[in-house]
Each structure stands twice: as C-alpha cells, then as structure tokens.
Amino acid sequence: MRLEILERGYRPATKALFALVRLVSRQDMPDAARLMFYRPDFYGARAKAFTQEAMRGPSEWSVAERELMAAYVSTVNSSVFCVGAHTATASRAYGDSGLVAAALEDVETAPVSEPLRATLRMLGRLTVDGTVSTEQMRGVLVAGATASQVADALAVCAAFNLTNRLADAFDFAVPSAQGFESGARYLLRRGYR
Amino acid sequence: MTCGDSRDGETAAVVRRGGTVTWQVAGLSGGAQTGRVSVSAKADRKQAAFRGLVERVLGGQGQASVEARGGAFAGSGGIGVPEAVRGLVGKVAATPALVTDADFAAGRAAGLSEDQLFEVVVCAAVGQATRQYEAGLAALDEALGSLGEGQVG
C-alpha cells in the first residue's frame, strides 16, 4: 500500500494475527481487511460496522444480490481490487458465476429480476454522476423495488463508493484468483465484522 | 432535538429535526462544515452506522486538524486542506484510479505525516460517498412523495 503505516504500522498483536491468517489460509490477509486494523478507532471500527449492516444486516435483498451490487458499483468505478473480491463473493453466493458475469457485462440483458435490474441501473447512474433524478428513482420503484430495498441498495452503494476510493488511493494489492476465492469464502462465512 | 457531542475539545453538533439529521463540525475557519442524511420513517441502522462513521472521522480525535479533515471531506475546494494535498483530495473524490505515488510524495514533502495523509484520504473518500448517499436518499424521498408512499414498498 502507498502508506508505510498501512504496510508495517500495526500493533504486535495485529501483526501476529496477520501471520496466523497467512499460516492457516496460505494467503496474505487482503489489504481491504488490513486497512480496518490500522487505528481502528479512527476508521476501521465504524467502517466495519456500517459495511456489516449494509451487506449482512436485515434486508429484503439477499446476500447474493447485495454482493452483486457491490461488484457492480466496483465495476462502474473500475476498482480492480473490489471488482475481483466482490465478483468472487457474489458468484459464490449465487452459486452461478455466469449470472454475475452477465450482470456485470450488460445489466439490461442479464437474467436478474426487474427490481434488481432497475436498482443496479440506478446505482450505476448515481456512481457515475454523483446524483440520480427523481424520475430515475421513480422508475426503480415502478419496476417493483420497495422503498426499503432502494434505501438498502443506497447503503451498499455508499459502502463501495467509499471502499473503492480507498482501494485505489492506497493501492491495495490485487490477490490471485485463489486469493479472491479464499476472501469470498471468508466474507460469506464471517461477514465484514 | 439538538445535542452536542464533545470529543477531545472538538465539537460535532448533531441536529435531528423532521426526519433529517444534520451534523456540523465547529471550529473551521471561514465557516462550519455541515452535512445531512435524510432519515425516512423506516430509518434504519444502516444510516445510523454511516452517520457514526462520518461524525467520527470529522469530529473525533485525529492527527490532521479538524479543518483539514473537514476540507478533505468537502472535496478539492474545501477549506483547510493544505495546498500540497489538494490534488490528492480531488483525485480521491473524483478519479481515485488516477492517484499516484507522487500525490502522496507531495504531501510528505510539505511536511504532512503518514497519519495525516491517511486521515485526509479517508475523509475525502467518506465525503464523496456521503454526497452520493445523500443524493440517492433525497431522490428516493422525492420519488416516494411523487408516487405516494402507500403505492410502493
């Protein structure tokens, strides 16, 4: 990562944890996770709490659908680390990597529900333009997404518009495909805590 | 309801009125740093958790000044951001993929510590995510108003 403190500035107990993870999983802890351990009182503790709520908290969206939203927002932002991490996680959550690939390639033709398609389209517009019109939002509701689903999707979008920026600014290392798979298993088993 | 939340001598004022939460970080030169997140009747833990993050990075203890963090949160034109890192802050908000080692080197050369750079980058990213989140929630409120909330969700 671009800051030395994010490479080596951790407390001894945290460094020991990183070493244990490497020993058990034979993968380095991803930089997205390492970041959360750096001065967690400033950023990591609250960022994890928000991301956990957005991605694993109560919602009418499934975990798979929210992971697809995360992958979609990351794709729109061209954030390489997050695209890899959440494409792998969404694919594993759906049990269908083809569906995820199709949605990321062209949301208009992907085999997803109309409420999800309209929601992804809106999240993409919000991510690119920084805003979304009332008319566009009304279209999402008319397509069948409930108000609480839209609010929940906006939380996912916020989490990844934030994380994508930190991934790119701090230059997170991009793991191997095996590393992404290992991370996906972890996120589905343990969440973002 | 209005409450003040003092941390380490800095103040983050949080106002809850009519379903909207506004925060204001005092002590900024040239004016206060403010933001808002609408909270619908179905106000949820997600929005509350996000507000907790915003309030912490803006108003809690840090190694960068409250002014620098607030300016970074506001974007490249924000007050309080040292000249040397305005480019970095602008890129984090608008084009994060274009951030380079040189952007961080400029901050170090101007005397910013690694922790100050860390905080400035985090605040810039949280600020942009906040603006997008607010814009989405505002559009949702307007769309619900135009349709009548009973017709949806």
What would the pLDDT profile of A154-167 be if each residue is shown by its tens digit?
999 999 999 999 99
Are the Cβ atoms of A42 and B149 closer than 8 angstroms?
Answer: no
ipTM of the complex: 0.95
C-alpha B76: how far from chain center? 13
Domain ranges of chain B: 42-151
Query: Mean of the pLDDT values across residues A18-37?
Result: 92
| Rounded Cα distance, B32 and B55, in Å | 14
**Alpha helix segments (H runs only) across chain A:** 4-8, 12-25, 31-36, 44-56, 63-76, 80-94, 97-105, 114-129, 134-142, 147-170, 177-190
Please write the tens of the pLDDT for every residue from B76-95.
Answer: 666 789 899 999 999 999 99
- Mean pLDDT throughout A110-117? 98
pLDDT at position B9 is 33
Give the mutation candidate from A134, A146, A171 for the B interface (greatest B CB count, under 10 A): A134
Structure pTM? 0.87
- The answer to whether domain A49-190 has CATH 1.20.1290.10 is yes
Chain-chain contact of B45 with A53 (C-beta, under 8 angstroms): yes
